[in-house]
Structure 1
């Protein structure tokens, strides 16, 4: 499967400062995370990073849901 954009690029399309949706909040917070692995398309790398550094992410389930949306968006 060829990936057209990085997870971070996809995540930035979910940003909405007016929204309290968990995925929007994740995107808003990741935008301010200077160390976020912006070039990564690897689930394990991103998951490990967020487990260690994603204190702004209240649940890894939010990452899992966002990752699935990312895969779906690249399937088209």
Structure 2
């Protein structure tokens, strides 16, 4: 399947407020400049580290990207 990281992470929206993956997904959804069609780790990681909201943390990004790789890459 040809799915971007953004579309994958949207599946975590709507979870509990203490679920860090859900918080990440909600913040990513609200970030209008998030690279929505991107699949590459380096580009996404750089964005998270340099430009993203504080709730879009690199630790959670790494966890989510690992899941994304296992399922789609």
TM-score, with normalisation over the residues of structure 2?
0.86
Q: Which runs of 5+ in 1 are unaligned?
A: none
- RMSD of aligned Cα (Å): 1.7
Structure 1 runs, 4 residues or longer, greater than 4 Å off: none
Instruction: Answer with 1 or 2: which has the greater Rg.
Output: 1
Count the aligned residue pairs: 73
TM-score, with normalisation over the residues of structure 1?
0.83
Q: Which runs of 5+ in 2 are unaligned?
A: none
If each structure's helix is expressed as a fraction of its own residues, which one has the higher value? Answer: 2
Question: SS state of the match for residue 13, structure 1?
Answer: helix
